[in-house]
Homo-oligomer: A and B are copies of this chain.
């Protein structure tokens, strides 16, 4: 079976791709260049797609930086280097980003006659983004069934979020078991062009804590 796998270039989606490959799925990896300041993650996505045997990798452009409203798409909003207050959504949240990425994945999935979209959302060790929660994923899957010809004809595209309930350490252990080379991945919100991490943003902090908790050496290149 074919699947479209959303691949950001980070640690989570690399693990999701490895899980899909373990299931012998023909994986069509999709990345989105949305105007993110950490565009080094797209080069990482290319490396990960190749290393894990994706059948194809596409990078689609949707310039969300023209709207701004996020530290990831507006250079005038600094990336926070301390954690947001509990229960708040940090300024690195990009309005509707995951909805947009899943929608594009849905279009490609329908053309490919792919039965599944794989999405690396995580709702445990995460930044509190609303579009990473199980209820969001379920609502998108329901929408996908109504939105498409495939759905109307009884072949709805399913949305899989296989790591949504795992801890970061659990994700890393899973990927390590499957042979994921996390040195290829970039999580940092302000990685430099060479993919080196700041070590201070939310993404870096969660990632570093994950490797520590997993008891696995952190291969991240810090600058």
- Copy tally for this chain in the complex stands at 2
A contacts with B, residue count (CB < 8 A): 45
Interface of A is mostly: helix
Q: Is the CB of B61 within 8 A of A62?
A: yes
Fill in one digit per residue for A119-160: 1 if any B CB lies within 8 Å of its CB, else 0: 000000000001101011001101110111111100000000
Fill in one digit per residue for A13-53: 1 if any B CB lies within 8 Å of its CB, else 0: 00000000000000000000000000000000000000000
CB distance from A127 to the nearest CB of B (A): 12
CB distance from A44 to the nearest CB of B (A): 21
CB < 8 Å: which of B98, B108, B148, B151 contacts A67? Answer: B108
Q: Is the CB of B100 within 8 A of A104?
A: yes
Q: Is the CB of A143 within 8 A of B143?
A: yes
Q: Is the CB of B108 within 8 A of A104?
A: no
Q: Could you say which residues of chain B place their CB within 8 Å of the CB of A147?
A: 96, 98-99, 130-131, 136, 139-140
Q: List 15 A-B contacts (CB under 8 A).
A: A62-B62, A67-B107, A67-B111, A68-B111, A95-B108, A95-B110, A95-B148, A99-B143, A100-B106, A130-B146, A131-B146, A131-B147, A131-B148, A133-B146, A143-B143
